[in-house]
């Protein structure tokens, strides 16, 4: 019987480190944190969109969804639906706070070629700090901000300075 116990103890001694190593390898993937750059890299490398979507949905992230970050994603050819998904993930992240958005931010996104859908989503998820006075509206119009976006800015609850 002591021989059997010794063999069992020896087997466990040999197997436990291997099991721990396998667990460490598996948990290493969970430690990854996606960023704008990693998503752009996957699109640049032509990883199928469905895999990228699954990765975004199932991996911890630290996305930059400021107007500059959104423009970076747009110039990196990340599709609008994926950008909106990244925005939603960042908005739901623990400790997420609403970013303040102003007229200049909206104009910057329009001038940078972001789609109306992405801009609308950004307006809806941000803390309004808009100038919606007559002069503010003239400036938005002059800078080709769509009526839909201006209406969303108005609906956000900030009626001007």
User: Per-10-residue mean pLDDT for the chain, 161 residues long?
Assistant: 50 43 44 95 97 95 96 98 96 88 98 97 96 97 98 80 54
Helix, coil or strand: residue 24:
helix
Give the model's pLDDT for residue 150: 97
pLDDT score, position 25: 41
Structure tokens at 110: 């329009």
For the chain, domain boundaries: 1-31, 33-93, 97-161
Give the pLDDT score at 94. Answer: 83
3-class secondary-structure state, position 106: helix
Identify the pLDDT of residue 157.
72
pLDDT of residue 93: 84
Q: Please name the residues in contact with 126: beta carbons below 8 A apart, sequence gap of 6 or more.
A: 98, 99, 100, 101, 156
Strand partners, 34: 61
In order, the DSSP letters of 31-84 are T--B-HHHHHHHHHTT--HHHHHHHHHHS-B----SHHHHHHHHHTT--HHHHH
Query: How much is the pLDDT for 5?
Result: 47
Structure tokens at 90: 């960042």
Q: For tokens 């609850």, name the residue.
A: 157
- Angular region, 144: left φ>0, alpha ψ -120 to 50, beta rest: left
Residues near 110 by beta carbon (within 8 Å), at least 6 away in sequence: 119, 143, 144, 145, 146, 149
pLDDT computed for residue 6 by the predictor? 52
Instruction: Give residue 99's pLDDT.
Output: 92
The total number of residues shown for the chain amounts to 161
């Amino acid at each position: 019987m002591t021989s059997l116990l010794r063999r069992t103890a020896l087997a466990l001694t040999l197997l436990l480190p291997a099991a721990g190593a396998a667990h460490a390898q598996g948990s290493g993937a969970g430690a990854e944190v996606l960023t704008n750059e990693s998503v752009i890299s996957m699109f640049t490398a032509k990883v199928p969109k469905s895999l990228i979507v699954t990765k975004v949905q199932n991996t911890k992230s630290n996305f930059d969804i400021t107007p500059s970050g959104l423009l970076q994603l747009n110039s990196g050819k990340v599709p609008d639906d994926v950008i909106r998904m990244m925005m939603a993930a960042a908005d739901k992240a623990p400790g997420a706070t609403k970013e303040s958005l102003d007229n200049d931010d909206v104009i910057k996104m329009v001038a940078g070629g972001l789609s109306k859908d992405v801009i609308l989503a950004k307006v809806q998820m941000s803390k309004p700090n808009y100038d919606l006075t007559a002069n503010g509206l003239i400036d938005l119009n002059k800078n080709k901000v769509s009526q839909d976006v201006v209406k969303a800015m108005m609906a956000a609850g900030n009626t001007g300075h």
